[in-house]
Structure 1
Amino acid sequence: MPDTITLQVARYRPDTDAAPTMQEYVVPLRQEWAVLDGLNYIKDQLDGTLSFRWSCRMGICGSCGMTVDGDPALTCGTFLADYAPGPVRVEPLANFPVIRDLVVGIDDFMRKLPKVKPWLVREDEPGVADVEFLQTPPQLDEYQQYSMCINCMLCYAACPVYAIEPDFLGPAAIALAQRYNLDSRDQGAHQRMDVLATAEGVWACTYVGECTSACPKGVDPAGAIQRYKLTAATRTLRSFLPRGER
């Protein structure tokens, strides 16, 4: 294995640059180094003007998502040795506006997320501060997979529908809605239906499945969307039945 590897990094400052450009940096190639380590080496040793996000380095915060050789990935869990001898192309996540270099704006996601009410909704209690709602292990299993989302936005970067339909709620928002719809403590599924069962919600999804392939936590947002399509269709059909048979 060579001692170094070249990173081709996207540089872009929208206020001064007409278009993104690629800049090459040679960094040490070590077996244990992730792409994020290479970027930090550039920042610390070669070019302090490079901008990118990161926080935990443990695949938990979701902030270091970027496009690595064409694929959305968490750079803290993507290792340089897997791309040897290189070069490795590092770009910002697709489908988001670039703020600077590798930093993208996620305002659209933050605006859409509250629409699906990703929190426990209770209608039979004035509050839950002093109430304990017990769950069985099978009840936890119903939604636990969808609760693993870390809002890394990789699924949005991979989604071809979001790329052409900016009004689409998107995979992560819908998966998080399902996380609460399937929670035995929640009573807000009917409130979320008005948002989810729409042309901008689950019906926009064409089931390409790239969101699930890109997810680093195995959330399976594509599965969540298809599962909710069945729920929405079933509830619509039941609405045509006589009231006593619904």
Structure 2
Amino acid sequence: MSEDAIHSTTVTIRIHRFTPKSGPEHARRHSSSPFGGKARGGSPFGPSPSRRRIRGRHFTQDYTIETHAGQTVLDCLLAIKRDLDPTLAFRYSCGHGICGSDAVSINGTPTLLCTAKVEEYAKPKSNQNMAKATAGDGFRRTGDVEQTTGKPVIDLNTKKASENGNQPKDANQRPSGSNNPDTLGNSTENHDNTSGLAVIEIAPLPGFPVLRDLIVDIDQMMNQIKKLEPYLKADGKLATTEDGKIDMFEYLQNPEELKRYELLSNCISCGVCEGSCPVYAGGEAFIGPAALIAASRFISDSRDEATNQRLDDIATADGIAACQSVRACSRECPRGIDVGEEMWQLTERVKSRQGR
């Protein structure tokens, strides 16, 4: 174990919270996607249901805790819920990256709480800009680093305000709501009192309606997966040997055939790929990579007899045709699936079949 994992460290956990409005439900059209109202035209998923987002109060809340570099972000949230704020709501189950129920956005990156280590995400503020510039994700905010030398760019106005003892303004600071000081003595209201500490910012998984705090509604994703019928479809005929006995090796596969779908069967439907996808928005404009991975798993299975039907089901305007090949879905898959490559392979198979 490294020394960083042995010695404790103080971090600020900044959580984007949501409290639904009490009383009769006040809902409005879920408008994350500008394409949500378009007709589906031949989609196997039927008419687009009216997506609803619960009205309520959004605010950010900071918690300062002692932790270890080797602990997970889930450990931090459990400590907060146990010792500081029992009202904090988040979802988890196995805690080992198997169930996929604890997907959130950490520092802007969709991932699982139980696999995200504090040492990976709790970066000192002085190093956060450099980390963003060298992350290799293809995106960098203007002004983070000097374009030619790669050195940090110092904002003299911010530095001067800091030297004078004033709180510098953060252009990206989210508005915070009022907190209960009797319950949460170390949370912040409209400013950050712990600006010198490393900050881990946690928000709900993007692309999904928020139910409460970090809990999102994944029903739409699960319904999309279910409608693509993710189960083996054989012809129902039992193979027999020459002497009339049932052939026990009817579905025997060679290693190459097994390899084509084996990794895809490890998908845990966590929604991380959909939270990373800039096109997906609750399944309104795009059925999403999670459903397409489920379809690809059986399209790639040599034992399945419904390949043509499955390709027809995804060859729609809101199916594989809506994928823009951004490949952001591949970056954080907890099961190691190259989701973007699978989307590309499906696109090529659909195009090849339509070109016959």
What corresponds to 2:347 in structure 1? 229
The match for 1:156 among 274, 277, 293 is 274
Is it true that 1:10 corresponds to 2:122 in the alignment?
Answer: no
Cα root mean square deviation, aligned: 1.9
Matching residue of 1:110: 222
326, 337, 356: which one aligns with 1:208: 326
Identity %: 38
Q: Which consecutive unaligned segments of at least 5 residues does structure 1 have?
A: 239-246
Given the two structures, how large is their TM-score scaled by the length of structure 1?
0.89
Q: Which residue of 2 aligns with 1:244?
A: none
Structure 2 unmatched ranges of 5 or more: 23-54, 125-197, 239-246
Q: Secondary structure at the match of 1:28?
A: strand
CA 1:42–1:207: 2 relative to 1, 3 Å: same
The alpha carbon displacement at 1:77 in A equals 0.9
Provide the aligned length of Structure 1 versus Structure 2: 235
Residue number in structure 2 paired with 1:54: 92
Q: Which has the higher contact order (CA 8 A, sep 6+)?
A: 2
CA distance in 1, matches of 2:217, 2:336: 24
Distance 1:164 1:103 in 2: 14
Asked if the contact 1:159–1:210 (Cα under 8 Å) also holds between the matched residues in 2, the reply is: yes
Separation in structure 2 between the aligned mates of residue 184 and residue 193 of structure 1, nearest angstrom: 14
Find 1:192's aligned residue among 304, 310, 315. Answer: 310
1:37 aligns with 75
Structure 1 residue 99, shift from structure 2 partner? 0.6
Q: Using the alignment, how far apart are the partners of 2:231 and 2:264 within structure 1? A: 13
Secondary structure at 1:152 match in 2: coil
Among 75, 78, 97, the alignment partner of 2:209 is: 97
2:58 counterpart of 1:20: yes
Contact 1:14–1:98 (Cα < 8 Å) also in 2 = no
> Counterparts of 2:248 and 2:319 in 1: how far apart (Å)?
33
The alignment partner of 2:331 has SS state of: helix
- What's the counterpart of residue 242 of structure 1? none
| Superposition TM-score, scaled by structure 2 size | 0.63
1:155 and 1:211 in contact (8 A); partners too = yes
Instruction: Give a deviation string over 1:180-237, Cα, whole Å, max 9, x none.
Output: 1111111111121222111111110000000011212121221111111111111112
Distance in structure 2 (CA, Å) of the matches to 1:18 and 1:123 = 51
More helix by share: 1
**Aligned match of 2:50:** none
Query: Which residue of the partner structure matches residue 191 of structure 2?
Result: none
Task: Say if 1:92 and 1:104, in contact at 8 Å, map to a contact too.
Answer: yes
Distance in 2 between the 1:147 and 1:90 partners? 29
Match of 1:147 in 2: 265
Amino acid of the structure 2 residue aligned with 1:47: D
Change (3 A) 1:235 1:3: closer
2: CA distance, partners of 1:98 / 1:223: 29
Instruction: Report deviation, 1:166.
Output: 1.7
Q: In structure 2, give the amino acid aligned to 1:3.
A: T
Matches of 2:101 and 2:283 in 1, distance apart?
Answer: 24
Alpha-carbon distance in 1 for matches of 2:326, 2:206: 16
CA distance in 1, matches of 2:56, 2:300: 47
Moved over 6 A (4+): none
Give 1:167 shift.
Answer: 3.6
> How far 1:131 moved relative to its partner?
6.4
**1:165 Cα deviation after fit:** 6.6
Q: What secondary structure, in the 3-state scheme, does the structure 1 residue paired with 2:19 have?
A: coil
Q: Secondary structure at the match of 1:29?
A: strand
- The one-letter code matched in structure 2 to 1:185 is R
Shift of 1:81: 2.1
